[in-house]
Chain A
Amino acid sequence: MDVSQYLEIFLDEAKEHLQNLNTQILELEADSENMDTINEIFRAAHSMKGMAGTMGYKRMQTLTHDMENVFSEVRNGNIKVQPELIDVLFQCLDALEEYTNNIQATADEGTNDNEPLIKLLGDILKAGGKVDAAPQTSKNGEPAQSAGGDKKWNDIVLDDSQIHVIKEAQKAGKKAYGLTVNVQESCILKAARAFLVFKAVEEKGEIIVSSPSAQDVEDEKFDKDFTLIVLTDAELDELIKLAEDVSEIESTIGAELVVEETKNYRPMDEPTASASSAAENAQTKTPAVMEEKAQAAPAAAKPSDKKPATGKPVVNRTVRVDIEKLDVLMNLVSELIIAKNSLVSASGQEQNTNSGFNEQVEYLESVTTNLHESVMKVRMVPIESVVNKFPRMIRDLSKTLNKKMELYMTGEETELDRTVVDEIGDPLMHLLRNSADHGLEDAELRVQRGKPPVGSIFLDAYQDGNNVVIEVRDDGNGIDVEAVKNKAIERGSITPEQAINMSEKEIINLLFLPSFSTAKKVTDVSGRGVGLDVVKSKIESLSGEVEVKSKLGEGSTWTIRLPLTLAIIQALMVVVGDEKYAISLGTIQAIEDILPTDIKLVENKEVINLRGTVIPLIRMNQLLDIDSTRDEEEGLIVVIVKKGDKMAGLVVDELLGQQEIVIKSLGAYIKQCKFISGATILGDGEVALILDANALL
């Protein structure tokens, strides 16, 4: 075993801790007296230190160690939380993040010692009065935890050779300790934790016995604690601390073992005893008699035990699953659905309808639908993991831009497909920065306009039918349509004549053109003209869409609409010519039968007037280069599709009905087809293409 296999866990946890620290320090900034927050920060810093140490990342360990020291003092009330302290802490977090990123990229932490930061931390410590405040001091007040029953090393049966080894070592000046390590109940990878403890302890000494055996521990065949007997030069405190530095270790207790000569040393001239194993057991049962030093060593996790359960559960119970495995499962479900569809179509064909067969098909249908839903649910994660970093970002922006602003978030628990959540972070960040930089006005101007001096940015997420909507809203200046228009003319994106005929909305949409920025000066934050077009293309690549509404002087709202799932959808099957196509049900607004006489011409384009709304028609047979099989005089079938508030009527030849379809990619080889978003396999094995209604509008 070597540590590298734990790298992934380490990275995951380091990121979790970093996120946690960010959140907590933000909270601390708002409420500098909150002991819960301080404890939480202390604990996270402590865990990170332990993890970094075990993995051999010394620089990271040093930095977290110093942070921990500062927090220890804060916790003891020796240092007051000042805004400067918060700034330094955030810088530390950035440095830690850099280490983590380096480790992720190269498995090495990099060579940045971050000495200025360490010095800053040291200065803070000195200013606080006490120079050296080892975190362990905070443990003094804790009650002795091991009140007796926990001393499991008493139960370990030592054989002769082991006793001999212990004695030899003790003669050589080494000490033998019994250690019982308790793993947190919520711990998922007990074996990994145990391994880290073994490794840490072995650095200081030699593990003679463990109970359960090392092999069993490695195979995770233990409940929540394991016991070691260690020979070492080091002090017991040191060992306990090493063990506790491993995260998710709840507590470690230990004591020195004294092997008493009289009771245990079996002289060589008593060979009979060794013959009877029972006798041997009886005798060796007692060898390790403790000198009751009872080193109480409450865990780093102790504060959390005391903290009353205030609201949120501390840890989500999760199992990390490789997304590839999920994809395999997903594919299997897809196959099942295809098989089901072919059964359905087979049952439709047979005239002598056997009711038992139909029942089975219906049963299969309900099973596959349920299975599909649950597999999809496994892939769903709350967007929390992405949006959590935004409060910190807004805080930093507020300082850089010298504007006062607050971020209000709702709906962090809204769930989206994992792949979407991974991708959505950057676009959202762009929009928030955009709101902070371009949207919100200076405090003075805000006051003049009768707004509160502190600007507000809102991030709201909610589910809406088959979509998830994420809105970024600010109460700032809004988009200056005239400025956008002038800029567009100046850049040559549109001609002045075009500009006159453009609606406000069309002009606002110009913002999504590549390298378009109206910011008067380029700042660090935005104004470089890369952004909105990237936002748009990113979201469209996720089959979503982005819209903006704005009112000059009152603020703007950016609305991102994303599909809940990407892999399996409900679709309407239609026929054009002699080909079958699928249209996602999510985009369909209505289906209308119209007469040829209902079609009017506007600007030489066919439109229909549907209950007061004028909707342009798209002849699918012309678009798809195929001859229509329908006699127009019989009337036309029009599928009304909608995207945002744009609508279009697709003229098709025939409707086949609704079906659950599995979306398959057309492969990298076929690139140019804009309005085909993929393909699906029908029950009869034929491939049908999926029309992307969004691209048609």
Chain B
Amino acid sequence: MDQLSIKNEVAKANEAGGHTEERFQFIVIRLGEEQYGIDIRYIDNIVRMQNITRVPKVPAYLKGVINLRGEVVPVVSIRLKMGLPADEYTRATRIIILKSEAVGNLGIVVDEVREVVTLTDSNIEKSAHEVKDNAASFINGIGKNGGELISLLDLNAITIEENA
């Protein structure tokens, strides 16, 4: 269905150029106690938590809209979408702006942004959607970074609107 755009395809190609293995960069974020990775190619921007204007009569996970440099961008609570407890906004809370060709820019609320990691193909274990657990259907792989495991978010699953 909705395919996320890969705007910096060139960068990826350059990166892959010198190596035999393909390398991907992920932004590591925290939701509750778990760490998740978001492919950096889908990220437009990371902004601090700001006042979100509520939109009436929409699903609860749709928090509302924000003003991103003069553009109105919808913001989704990824916690609510994944069936986790509602967000508590702290000083570390950030909104990650994803770029998507199908639905335009979209913000997701995360508890914390930690670091950027580079993973090679061999460090990523692709997972099929066998697990019917709600939260797991938003994961399309597990990345191994040193001793830590990072769940890689399937952004298509997030940007698809459930009751569209």
Chain A residues within CB distance 8 Å of chain B: 331, 334-335, 338, 579, 623-626, 664-674, 676, 678-679, 681, 685-689
Contact = CB atoms under 8 A, between A and B. Distances in A.
Interface in B140-162: 159, 161
A664 to B, nearest CB: 4
Contacts of A681: 67, 70, 72
Contacts of B51: 686
B71 A672 contact: no
B37 interface: no
Nearest to B57: A673
Interface stretch (B18-26, B97-105, B111-119): B97-105
In the complex, the 8 A-B pairs of residues with the closest C-beta atoms, listed nearest first: A687-B53, A664-B72, A669-B103, A624-B56, A679-B72, A668-B103, A667-B104, A669-B74
B53 A679 contact: yes
Given A579-B53, A667-B73, A668-B102, 10 more contacts: A625-B56, A667-B104, A669-B74, A669-B106, A669-B159, A670-B62, A685-B67, A687-B66, A687-B67, A688-B53
B161 A669 contact: yes
B104 A668 contact: yes
Nearest to B71: A664
A686 B72 CA distance: 10
Contacts of A676: 55-56
B55 A666 contact: yes
Interface of B: 51, 53-58, 62, 64-67, 70-74, 76, 102-106, 159, 161, 163-164
Chain A CB within 10 Å — which of B64, B76, B105 has the most?
Answer: B64
24 contacts: A331-B70, A623-B56, A626-B56, A666-B65, A667-B65, A667-B103, A667-B105, A668-B104, A669-B76, A670-B58, A670-B65, A670-B74, A672-B57, A673-B57, A679-B65, A679-B72, A681-B67, A686-B53, A686-B67, A687-B64, A687-B65, A687-B66, A687-B72, A689-B53
Given A666-B65, A667-B105, A668-B104, A673 B56 contact: yes
Contact of A667 (B53, B74, B163): B74
Contacts of A331: 70
Contacts of A672: 57-58, 163
A673 B55 contact: yes
Nearest to A623: B56
Nearest to B74: A669
A678 B71 CA distance: 12
A331 to B, nearest CB: 8
Nearest to B64: A687
B51 to A, nearest CB: 6
Contacts of A689: 53, 55, 65
Contacts of A674: 57
Contacts of B66: 687
Nearest to A668: B103
A669 B54 CA distance: 14
Contacts of B105: 667
B30 to A, nearest CB: 24
B38 to A, nearest CB: 17
A598 to B, nearest CB: 27
A140 B70 CA distance: 66
A624 B53 CA distance: 13
Nearest to A338: B70
Nearest to A663: B72
A420 to B, nearest CB: 22
A626 B64 CA distance: 14
Contacts of A665: 72
B110 to A, nearest CB: 18
Contacts of B72: 664-667, 678-679, 681, 687
A666 B74 contact: yes
Contacts of B104: 667-669
Contacts of B53: 579, 679, 686-689
Contacts of B103: 667-669
A502 to B, nearest CB: 29
Contacts of B64: 687
A670 B64 CA distance: 9
B63 to A, nearest CB: 11
B70 A625 contact: no
B54 A579 contact: yes
Contacts of B54: 579
Contacts of A679: 53, 65, 72
A667 B67 CA distance: 12
Nearest to A667: B104
A681 B55 CA distance: 14
Chain A CB within 10 Å — which of B56, B102, B103, B106 has the most?
Answer: B56
A673 B58 contact: yes
A665 B74 CA distance: 10
A666 B70 CA distance: 12
Nearest to A335: B70
Given A334-B70, A687-B67, A671 B57 contact: no
Contacts of A678: 72
A676 B65 CA distance: 13
A664 B74 CA distance: 12
Contacts of A686: 51, 53, 67
Contacts of B70: 331, 334-335, 338, 681
B109 to A, nearest CB: 14
B155 to A, nearest CB: 13
Contacts of A666: 55, 65, 72, 74
Chain B CB within 10 Å — which of A335, A671, A678 has the most?
Answer: A671
A664 B55 CA distance: 14
A624 B67 CA distance: 21
Contacts of A334: 70
Contacts of B62: 669-670
A679 B163 CA distance: 22
Nearest to B52: A687
A665 B72 CA distance: 7
A579 B53 CA distance: 8
Nearest to B51: A686
A664 B58 CA distance: 18
A671 B164 contact: yes
A366 B73 CA distance: 30
Contacts of B76: 669
Contacts of B74: 666-667, 669-670
A17 to B, nearest CB: 38
Contact of A671 (B56, B67, B73, B161): B161
Nearest to A578: B54
Contacts of A668: 102-104
B50 to A, nearest CB: 9
A489 B102 CA distance: 42
A334 B72 CA distance: 13
A636 B102 CA distance: 43
Contacts of B106: 667, 669
A294 B57 CA distance: 81
